[in-house]
Structure 1
Amino acid sequence: MLLPDGYSDVPPGKIAAVVTHLQMTTRPSLLPERAGPWTLRRVADPDVGWFRDLFDRVGSEWLWFSRVRMSDDELRGTIHSPLVEIYALGCEGSDEGLIELDFRKPNECEIAFFGVTAGLVDSGAGRWLMNRALQAAWSHPIDRLWLHTCTFDHPKALAFYQRAGFVPFRRQIEIADDPRLDGAVPRAKARHIPIIG
């Protein structure tokens, strides 16, 4: 359904975001990166509790809620799929960044989730981690790598992805229940998005 020009009301208790989908169809050159105390490890068959903790620490400020609302069995089925790869960025003995690569569609990869914890934003860790995500994704025989970002994300996210070589190709509006109203995300998170409920 196409929205008409002009304003459209969002019901109380809901949130609305503009979602931009971006893609690349050839392997890009990696951007220069800052050195740091970072390591990367692939996490095979990640523990659900570990994943939920890192997902929350990376994404709750940006209202990442889709994995939060999954049951443990549903989440385990996704992150334990042989066609899904989970990576953690390590920093001084703690996991502080997340990559989830989804190869379940033939010949393509979706970066389903990507980010670092608040303490590493603007440290150079994000660029470092993106270079590793691109290397991991393009080590497979794919024709397309894609991801999406939205207006709930960090305000620099869209430009960050474009600098990495992604090109916008689709825009959508997403409306969902505000996850802070049902406890999926703490109420104090994402203060840049007002609660109207």
Structure 2
Amino acid sequence: MSTITLTTWSLEMASPQDLVRAAVPGPEITVRRAEVPSPEFSRFLYASVGGDIHWTDRLSLTRAQWVEQLGRPGVETWVAYERGTPAGYVELDPQADGVVEIMYFGLLPDFRGRRIGGHLLTLGVEAAWSLAERWPGREATTRVWLHTCSQDGPTAMDNYLRRGFKLFKTETEQKESTPTPGPWPGA
């Protein structure tokens, strides 16, 4: 099997004032928080968004593992909809000392390239900064961070930089080349 060079970039935002808001794509796009954790819905979003861009780390999780991940205090899933149809999502993962990681962010393939991603990322970052307002006892957010890699969508990095994220770490490794599972794993 062949190998590829995988580059992973870590980016951060140190203040809510650093956020550069994207334009709202239109009234047919809404973004809502999924307030009831649903492993089935989250797995659908994960597989549908990440199937063609090598998201595989969560595909083997059991339902119980999904429940555990989603049920941690402060974990939030925000979903973009176009006229009622899920278009993409952002998952927030609170960490220690007021740090919030954007664990997953992306759009289903049919919704990419339509200016939905910038809007969804804007609202996801705002939700990360305001996380403590929805979770009593959670300390105020002091930093929002994420990582992306050379296998993610071709516009991901540009979107993060346009929203005001700053690069703080770059890692490169050789990795075995594997096919993407596609949005229909096992089908």
Short-chain TM bin: 0.7 to 0.9
Gap runs ≥5 in structure 2: 132-139
TM-score with structure 2 setting the length: 0.83
Counterpart for residue 72 of structure 2: 81
* Match of residue 6, structure 2, among 2, 17, 41: 17
Which of 83-92 and 40-49 deviates more?
40-49
* Distance (whole Å) between structure 1 residues aligned to residue 62 and residue 2 of structure 2: 22
Give the letter for the 1:157 counterpart. A
Taking structure 1 as reference, are residues 176 and 65 closer, same or farther at Cα in structure 2, changes over 3 Å only? Answer: farther
Which of 89-98 and 55-64 deviates more?
89-98
Contact 2:47 2:183 in 1 (8 A): no
Counterpart for residue 49 of structure 2: 58
Counterpart for residue 42 of structure 1: 33
Q: What is the CA-CA distance between 1:89 and the residue it aligns to?
A: 1.1
Task: Kindly indicate which of the two structures has a greater share of residues assigned to helix.
Answer: 2
Counterpart for residue 195 of structure 1: none
* Distance (whole Å) between structure 2 residues aligned to residue 135 and residue 79 of structure 1: 20
Q: What is the CA-CA distance between 1:106 and the residue it aligns to?
A: 2.4
Gap runs ≥5 in structure 1: 1-11, 190-197
Work out the percentage of aligned pairs sharing the same amino acid.
26
Q: What is the CA-CA distance between 1:31 and the residue it aligns to?
A: 3.1
TM-score with structure 1 setting the length: 0.79
Asked if 1:166 corresponds to 2:157, the answer is no
The alignment's C-alpha RMSD in Å is 2.4
Q: What is the CA-CA distance between 1:186 and the residue it aligns to?
A: 4.1
Q: What is the CA-CA distance between 1:167 and the residue it aligns to?
A: 0.6
> What number of residue pairs does the alignment pair up?
175
